[in-house]
Structure 1
Amino acid sequence: MQNHYTTLGIPELASQEQAKVAFKRLAVEYHPDKNPNNPVAEELFKQINEAYQVLSNPVMKQQYDTTLRFVYSYSYYVNHRPAEADQNFKRYHEQTKDPKNTNLFSTLISIGIIVYMFLLVNSVHNFMSRFHYYQALQNIEIKEYDTAIDELSYAIGYDKSFATAYFLRAKLYSEHFRFPTGALKDYTKAIENALIQESDFYLERGIAYGKINEREGAITDFSTALDLSKYEQKTAQEIADEYYKSLKEYELAIEIYTTLIGQDSTKSIYYEKRALAYANLQNDNLAQKDFEKVVQKSENQTEKRVEIIAKLENEVKNYVLALKNNFILINQYPTESNFHYTRSNLFFKLNNQEKGMENLDIAIFYNDGKKEYYVQRAKLLLDLQQPDKACKDWKKARELGNTIKNTTLDFFCFDELDTN
């Protein structure tokens, strides 16, 4: 066992202030910056820093001092016991008439010493393991993740059943090092060594399985996490989101969102996420039913419907359902050019060029000051081989401040733009 007091060159059980003064002096002397390419100085500096971290912390110092007393008391007993003790034991042994009692007494003494040493070593290992674990927490706080991994590895080295250390190292592997296989191994160790089965352990391992596309493992762990958490809302929502985003298991996501709605029907987020899952399955009627509940619960219903349309268009790619919601907005605001422009883009994505151009014309009619509208229509007209109309729109876009370059239109319209 390393003696931190000896490392700092101060008396045993010295005060925190003495440790601080000694550390400052030695740290300056052995700092790597003053001893480049000197592995000995580097190692000494590490030992000095480790000693100070323990002795400067009141709780750690108290635990360390207690352990140190145990170690030294046993060492002193073994190496410095008085000769009279051996002589008395020998005399007692010689005078004992019953050898069976003597053997029994000796055996009990031996067992006692073995048990004491076992508890002592276990106590030291447990202390060192927790010390390195707390060091890792401090490193994580200042985002020194490499050092945190090292500290957690030391903690596990001292206590190979330290479930929380395995779990924390797995989280670091998963979130900061993109090392899912290492994370999976540590999550498994955490689960194997946990005294009480934790839903978080299975949840995080399920996420790790999802990252390497091990769908069966992920689904099994998510199911266990749900059972252990007794469908706690935060855990259930996170699992449903993983089913939706990572695994694309929309039916399983819908099942959980439905349960969550049963627990708390006031949260519109559950309806919205279930609606998006339905939309991915092309179950438009059930999706729209949920979307209407979301809109009704919203403070700004128009803004919420615009948001829904954007998600349907860009994330889900369900253009038909997006058009349905867009049509509701146009009925409410028939002269709003943005809604016609969105409708135009949706029709183009459905390869309905005629409807797309028709709605783009309407958008420009209601707002002829949007250069983006003219830029898009110019490009479309050029594709339809109507260069005269395309050039007219390109010129209008330039007048409105467009700076976007298009080699074909710039070349084709250059003379016309110059002469006009």
Structure 2
Amino acid sequence: MATEPYRQTASEVLARINSGDLTVEQYAQSLLARIKARDAVVKAWAYLDPARVIEEAKRLDQVPIDERGPLHGVAIAVKDVIYTKDMPTQFNSPAYEGHGPTVDAASIMILRQAGALIFGKTTTTEFAATTQGPITTNPHDSSRTPGGSSSGSGAAVGDFQAPIGLGTQTGGSTIRPGSFNGIYAFKPTWNSISREGQKIYSLILDTLGLYTRSVDDLELLADVFKLEDDMAPDRDFKVMGSKFAVCKTMVWPQVGPGTAAAMEKAAELLRAHGAEVDEIGFPEDLNDLPRWHSTVLNSDGRVAFLPDYCASKGKISKQLIDQVENRGRISRAAQLEAFDKIATARPVVDEMVGKYAAVLVPSVPDEAPEGIDSTGSAAFNGIWTALHNPVINIPGFHGGNNMPIGISLVAPRYYDRHLLAVGRRVGEIFEQEGGWKPKN
């Protein structure tokens, strides 16, 4: 029996569309049917117009074969903080209800030129900046959060409602939902992909994030976004004979039993496949990295949300108001210390992780917590966001309630393609032998 198009990865769908076995319209209809069947439970979409989707799919089917782009017809779910000229961008904020920019974000311009089908807008926490969850649920257990702030994009990809999702990360907003939803999540090196045309929280932290169900699809996106290392990665990377390291990080006291077991099993699997796995830690003088990240985040929030505070204070959340009013009493001296200490730490950490094919670190404290009021803890993510390192969440493990848990791999800055090459082989092992199997 042929696999339903909605269940296929972007790479698989592209092969079918390019061979003439599947039209973009047929593909779009398959995804829309999946969404219709699941939307009442998952609630991943902030805006979706099926008629517009079909109209665009039909237009793409009329594009001559020799004029088609590398993502021709592939559906993209877009986080609702990224501008789209033909759809609302409302930031999950009452202050922007019905807001419709007349321009595309840079990332959307690039994807459209590549032939992608921009499917709809997915849910987010307010301005991608709060911990109050939207209405979206985890596709593997609707009583649990899908994570945030890229809640809808992570849930949509995890529930086979789209093969690719765009997210953003300022703290842990890409990697955490990747782990909670059992999918691949990639946060490239900071500033590798233009953030022009998305709501800015922190210029020094914000990074576009990518969701897929395969590393092949991440490679497709890396090609489209022109992610390049100085040295071409080893496309035939082998785990056997390679060196990895485990880094529990200074946040390890916050770990739960599910992630602790997943980290141990991940290391065991790599050793079983012939890799050497060391254990490393941060230098003691970098133990304040989580605090420095928090200082930068909250200080930048004072600036980012001041316009909304001035124009619509009564319509934005208390968490944002507190940042603008500096309720945490963060001094300028503390701000400078955080900027400077993080900058000093970056080359030190690059050298530390650069000794290995990749370094394994926790993606989350544990499996997705119950309830959707909170999006869960980003404690293990902020470090790497501040340091600007590329990070990929690899699915394959599970917690005590058989909910997915991922493990992250990190590499030095601008080793994005290297990390994807390593992630491909590690992902094959973790997915096949990690123990978690999705129910849907």
- Larger RCO (CA under 8 A, 6+ residues apart): 2
Q: Same fold (TM over 0.5)?
A: no
User: Could you tell me the TM-score, scaled by structure 2's length?
Assistant: 0.23
- Max Rg structure: 1
Looking at secondary structure, tell me which structure has more strand per residue.
Answer: 2
- TM-score between the two structures when normalised by the length of structure 1: 0.24
